[in-house]
Amino acid sequence: MAKNTFLRAGQIAPDFTMTDAKGERFALSDFKGKSSVVLVFLRYAGCPICQLALHDLKDAYDEFKALGAEVAAFVQSPPESIKKSGDISIFPFRLIPDPNETIYKLYGVAVGGFIDMLHTQTVARGIQAIAHGHMQGKMEGSQWQLPGDFIVDKDGILKLARVGKNLADNLSPQQLLSYL
């Protein structure tokens, strides 16, 4: 686990309430006793690597639902930027703007540094994203923000608590599904 200094699998997941990009309330506690929740932390809406990750989650969404899980993806962009970046209705999961990094901090999703941008995984994933047509947009939040992946079970317990080691180090949807 890269730079997450305090949350671990087996702990109670910190509760929060946010407003998603469509203006709807999202509270982690609303899922307790009903479904698991996959929380994916990305950089910002204009990040090509993050755009690719969102599309990968979209493609696997039915598999998450079949296993009784809800998915929420966080970006540091404000709601207006998310709306300007494209048709958010194509994403069947919750896209949550967190421009003040409130939930990033709550979950210990750290900021990396310049070397994390130069990591071979970051460069390779960036090339892959551009090859799929995802172009650089407006940079918002920390350009060095690391990604994170968390899975909260029906009882509100973390099954996975992971912060990436570089800017492209999110788990794939298939890896996330293996925890459900």
Instruction: Enumerate residues 6+ apart whose C-beta is below 8 A from 40.
Output: 53, 57, 71, 72, 73, 74, 147, 148, 149, 170, 176
pLDDT single digits (tens) 160-171: 999 988 877 899
Predicted local confidence at residue 122, as pLDDT = 65
pLDDT at 173: 96
Q: Return the closest-CA partner of residue 29 out of 154, 174, 171.
A: 154
pLDDT in tens, the chain (180 residues): 345 557 999 999 999 999 999 999 999 999 999 999 999 999 888 888 888 899 999 999 999 999 999 999 999 998 888 877 665 678 899 999 999 999 999 999 988 877 766 667 765 766 667 777 766 767 777 788 899 999 999 999 999 999 988 877 899 999 999 999
pLDDT, position 176: 97
As a whole number of angstroms, the distance between CA 140 and CA 177 comes to: 29
Instruction: Locate all alpha helices (DSSP H) within 32-167, ordered by sequence.
Output: 48-66, 79-84, 102-106, 114-118, 120-131
Instruction: Express each pLDDT in 32-61 by its tens digit.
Output: 999 999 999 998 888 888 888 999 999 999
Give the chain's domains with CATH numbers. 34-177 (3.40.30.10)
